[in-house]
Amino acid sequence: AQTVTQSQPEMSVQEAETVTLSCTYDTSESDYYLFWYKQPPSRQMILVIRQEAYKQQNATENRFSVNFQKAAKSFSLKISDSQLGDAAMYFCAYRSEETSGSRLTFGEGTQLTVNP
Amino acid sequence: GAVVSQHPSRVICKSGTSVKIECRSLDFQATTMFWYRQFPKQSLMLMATSNEGSKATYEQGVEKDKFLINHASLTLSTLTVTSAHPEDSSFYICSDRQPAADTQYFGPGTRLTVL
């Protein structure tokens, strides 16, 4: 079974600075997707960014980018120019493309605080 | 992204009663929807996969008779917590998978409190 590990329960960053959230995963599969979701205090899960494992190029969405290291099974999220609205719980998630169900496996989450 | 609604957003019920939570996919027909449970300050735990027109697939350890799932139409899945007890109090979240975007989008969640 696949597992996702987020080793940083809490992180903090100053407004306008850059922060990197870590995520590692364990799988024997070669075809999968990786996601970062954020969950603000409203508890609405919001997709931040996604990465297909077969793509070598790191995904980027405005101020959010990932560092995808397939061999190392690492998928970190970099938030540039942090804003107060970025404060949230961030979840890394894995989805297999080889087994049925399209289920997401989530990490434990990282609570990000943005300091003004 | 896709829009998913849930109703109610918050419900309080007495122990022993049943509660139904609705999950609607508003902008496309979802043949598959997912139900998650989340305890405070914890991650999401997949409870079951809801398949339109067929029986739901439950994760190991989830009681299917306790958490009844019905996916009778392409836009609506319901989760019924039967004979609710205080330990069923939790935050329940549904999601759908939009094939075109190959991504799951989540509803706003339902906070269930069982007294």
Contact check, Cβ <8 Å, B42/A109: yes
Q: CB-based contact (8 Å) between A44 and chain B?
A: yes
Q: Where are the beta strands (DSSP E) in chain A?
A: 3-5, 10-14, 19-21, 24-26, 32-39, 46-52, 60-61, 64-69, 74-79, 88-96, 104-106, 110-115
Tell me which residues of chain A have a pLDDT lower than 50.
none
B92-101: per-residue pLDDT in tens?
Answer: 999 988 766 6
Q: Which of A2, A102, A110, A113 to mutate to test the interface with B (most CBs of B within 10 A)?
A: A102
Contact check, Cβ <8 Å, B108/A107: no
Averaged pLDDT score across all residues of chain B: 91
Residue B107 pLDDT more than 90? yes
B41-63: per-residue pLDDT in tens?
Answer: 899 999 999 888 888 999 999 99
Tokens representing residue A94 in the block: 């894995």
Q: How many CA atoms lie within 13 A of A80 on its CB side?
A: 7
Select the residue of A42, A47, A102 nearest B1 (Cβ to Cβ).
Answer: A47
